[in-house]
Amino acid sequence: MNLVYTVGEKLHIRVERLLVTFVKGRIEKHKESSPQDTYRSVWNVLQRSLTFRLLLALTPKHGPRRHFRSRTHGLLLKHIEGYRGSLHISVPENLRILIQKSDPFLAVTFHDGFSHLDKVLSENKRHYTRIASGKRWLERLSRQLDPGPYAHIVGDDALSLIAVRHAVEDGHAICAAIDYANRKGKKVYANPALIGFANRFKLGIVFVKTNVTQSGNVELICWGPFRDVKPEECVKMFIQLFNSVGVTRVKLAVRRYNETTDTRKRQGKGLTRRLQVS
- CA–CA distance, 46 with 43 (Å, rounded to integer): 5
Chain-centroid distance, C-alpha 120: 13
Contacts of residue 200, defined as CB under 8 A and 6 or more positions apart, other chains included, come to 278
Closest Cα partner for 15 from 65, 55, 54, 72? Answer: 55
Tell me the average pLDDT across 143-148: 64
pLDDT tens column, 29-73 = 998 999 999 999 999 999 999 999 999 888 876 555 468 899 999
Q: Which residues neighbour 68 within 8 Å (Cβ) at sequence distance 6 or greater?
A: 53, 56, 247
Does residue 94 contact residue 222 with C-beta atoms inside 8 Å? yes
The yes-or-no verdict on residue 207 having pLDDT over 80 is yes
Vertex 16: Cα angle to 13 and 17 (nearest 5): 85
Are the C-beta atoms of residues 63 and 112 closer than 8 Å to each other?
Answer: yes
Q: Binning pLDDT at 50, 70 and 90, where does residue 139 land?
A: low
- Domains of the chain by residue range: 7-86, 91-274
**Residue range 231-257, pLDDT digits in tens:** 999 999 999 999 999 888 999 999 987
